[in-house]
Amino acid sequence: QYDPYHDPHCGGRQVIVHLFEWKWADIAAECERYLGPKGFCGVQVSPPNEHTVITQGGDRPWWERYQPVSYKLVSRSGDEGQFKDMVDRCKKVGVRIYVDAVLNHMAGLGRSGTGSAGSSFNSDQHSFPGVPFGPNDFHKRSDCPSASGNVDNYQDPKNVRNCNLVGLVDINGGTDYVRGKQAEFLNHLIDIGVAGFRCDASKHIWPGDMGGIQSKVKDLPEGGRPFFYHEVSDFNNEAVHDSEYFGEGYVTEFRYSVKVKNGVDNLDQLHYVYDQGWNMSPSNQAFVYVDNHDTQRNGGVITIGYARYKRAQAFTLAYNYGFTRVMSSYYFDNKDQGPPHNGGSLHQRCHDKPRWLLWKWLDGSQLRRVTWPNSATSSCNRRGLRCQLEHEAKRCLVLQQRQPPASSPMGLNNFNEHRQTGMPSGSYCDLISDCKVKVETWMAAGTPRSSPADGNDPFVAIISQHGY
C-alpha cells in the first residue's frame, strides 16, 4: 500500500548520511565533491532554526540546537542564504536535504536572553516573540500529571506527551495556531527545496497533533508528500509505541541498532536482526542505523572507534530491511563537546581525525542494497525469510575476512569461516552466485584507521548483482 510520507524523493537511492553539526557551506561542497558522485540519496542536517547559545566550560555544546528559540533560519551552521545555497547545490547533484525538525519544545527552563538569530526569549515565562509563542502555546502545569513537571513516567502517555522533556518547555500542539506556526516553518523549508524531515522527539508529541501539523504541510514543488521519519524509541517496555506513528511516516527503529550489535558480535544472532518477536517495525516503516548522535554518546550500540563498526555498516547497507542512514560525526573527548568549527571549516577539521567519518570509507558501489528476487531464480527465493536468512548468515561470515586475497579477485578463497562452518570451499562460491550475491572487498580510501583489533582491516561489503 502506497504511503505518501515514505518517498524520500531521491530517484530510488537508499542511503542518507547525517552530517551532524556540519555547516551549510561545507555540506554544499561535500554534495558536489563526494555525495552526489557516490550516489547518496541525501543529507540529514542539524536543526537549521534559531536556537539557544550556550557556553559551558569554554565550549558550546552540540545540544544547544535542540533548544529552539524561533523558526528563523539562522543557526550555528549558517544563515538562510547559506542554507538555500546548500539545498540548491546539493539538489543539482541529486542529493536531497532532510531537516531535523524540533517541534516538541522550545528552550529549557531557566534559560533566557538572545538566540542565534537575535530573537529574545524567556523560557520560564514561556515567551518566544521570535515565533511568536506565548504562555497559551504551551502545555499547562495541570496538563502534566508529574510532580516535577518533567517527563518521568513512561508508562503514562500523558506524562510523556504533556510534561517537559528534560526541562524543555513543552509546546501544546493541540491548537490550530501552534500547528499553523509549525507547518509554516516546515512549508518555508519546502519552498526552499528540502525533501523531508526527521522529527525530533515525536514520542513526546501526540500522534494526532503530529498528524495535524503534517496535514497543513504542503506537497513538494515537484509533487508528492515530503519524506517524514519520526524519532520514537520503542523497546516494548513503555506505554507509547512506535506503531502509533506509522500513519505519519517512518519511525526510527532503535531495536535494529541493538540487533545489529548482537549480530556482529555473535554472527549466529544475525538471523534475528529483524525480530518480529521484539515487535520490530516492518521494513517499510523502519528507519535504521547502526548508531545516531545520541546513541554514539550513550552506549549500548556499536559506534565509531570499533573495527566492528564497519562490519555493522556493511551489513546494514547490504541487508534488505528498513531505510538506512549512515552517521557522520566529529571526534569528541566528552559527550557535550561541540563541533570543531575552528578556522570556519568544520569539514576540513574533521578530516584530520583518524576516527572520523565512517562514510568516507564507503565506496558508492556499496550504496546499492540487496534486493532479493521475488520469485525463485535459483536455490534462493525470498519466500519466507528462511532462505534469505541462511544466506545472510553466510554473508556475515564473509565479514570476518581479514586479508584481501592476492590471487582471487572475488576473494572467495581464504576464508577462515569455511573451516568454521565445515562448508567445502568451492560450494561456497556457488551458493553465493546462486543467490545472486556478489562479494567485494575494498580497502578503506585514504589512510586505514588503525586499531589493535584489526590493524589493516579490509572493508568488506556484500552487494547484490541484482541491478548491476
For ligand LM2, the binding residues (CB under 6 A) are: 63, 66-67, 102, 108, 165-168, 200-201, 231, 294
- For residue 170, state whether it binds Ca ion (rule: CB under 5 A): yes
Contact (CB, 8 A) for 302 and 308: yes
Near Ca ion in 86-105, by CB under 5 A: 104
Binding mask 33-72 for Ca ion (x = CB under 5 A): ----------------------------------------
Which residues have CB under 8 Å from 197's CB, separation 6+?
Answer: 98, 99, 100, 101, 186, 189, 226, 227, 228, 229
Closest distance of CB 295 from ligand LM2, Å: 9
Catalytic one among 200, 209, 248, 392?
200
Residue 323, H or E segment: strand 323-328
Could you tell me which of 30, 62, 65 has the C-alpha nearest to residue 50? 65
Residue 264: which of ligand LM2, Ca ion, none does it interact with, CB under 5 to 8 A by kind?
none
- Cα gap 240→235, rounded to integer Å: 10
Residue 389, H or E segment: helix 384-398
Query: Cell for 63?
Result: 545540544
Which residues have CB under 8 Å from 456's CB, separation 6+?
Answer: 448, 450
Residue nearest to ligand LM2 (CB): 108
- Cα gap 197→384, rounded to integer Å: 33
Closest distance of CB 30 from ligand LM2, Å: 22
Whether residue 200 lies in the annotated active site: yes
What would you measure as the largest C-alpha separation in the chain, in angstroms?
Answer: 72
Closest distance of CB 210 from ligand LM2, Å: 13
Q: Which letter does DSSP use for residue 82 in this model?
A: H
Q: Which letter does DSSP use for residue 59 in this model?
A: B
Residue 294: which of Ca ion, ligand LM2, none does it interact with, CB under 5 to 8 A by kind?
ligand LM2
Comparison of 163 and 220: residue with beta carbon closer to ligand LM2? 163
Comparison of 36 and 68: residue with beta carbon closer to ligand LM2? 68
- For residue 204, state whether it binds Ca ion (rule: CB under 5 A): yes
Could you tell me which of 326, 294, 334 has the C-alpha nearest to residue 309? 326
- For residue 449, state whether it binds Ca ion (rule: CB under 5 A): no
Comparison of 15 and 103: residue with beta carbon closer to Ca ion? 103
Contact (CB, 8 A) for 89 and 154: no
Closest distance of CB 13 from ligand LM2, Å: 24
Whether residue 352 lies in the annotated active site: no
- For residue 244, state whether it binds Ca ion (rule: CB under 5 A): no
Residue 63: which of ligand LM2, Ca ion, none does it interact with, CB under 5 to 8 A by kind?
ligand LM2
Comparison of 96 and 198: residue with beta carbon closer to ligand LM2? 198
Q: Which residues bind Ca ion (CB under 5 A)?
A: 104, 161, 170, 204
Active site residues: 200, 231
